[in-house]
Amino acid sequence: MSKPTSDEIVDMPARTPAFTTPDLWLDGDHFVEYTYQPGESEPSGGTLWHRKADSPSGWCCGAFYWRYPAHWVTGNHGVIPDHGPTWQLVSKEPLHLEPSFLCSCGHHGFIREGKWIQA
């Protein structure tokens, strides 16, 4: 999974949040920024960003994981505390995750074949 080239960034839709760099654009209004755990070279999840006109930044986001970070494993039996759902990584390239994403703001859709599909 590669970051966009500088030529691709120039062609991307209006500004992204200043504090993030997209790893994968799904369409003009959605992108993914991957999450890497310390010492790992493969992502364990990420943040899904989508445009939201009534937000001060113009964006809304939510985190997702297909593998819990190791530091979340706790207790004598290796129990993972409830930090929310995990998604099934069907394919990394093109990115395909199941089930759908339902943001806290109500935005709902799927990531399939590296694209955002509105629900």
- Pairwise CA distance, residues 107 & 101, whole Å: 8
Question: Where in the chain are the domains?
Answer: 6-118
User: 102 pLDDT exceeds 90?
Assistant: yes
Q: What's residue 40's pLDDT? A: 86
Q: What's residue 85's pLDDT? A: 74
Which pTM does this prediction carry?
0.76
Q: What's residue 9's pLDDT? A: 43
| C-beta separation of 64 from 46 below 8 A | yes
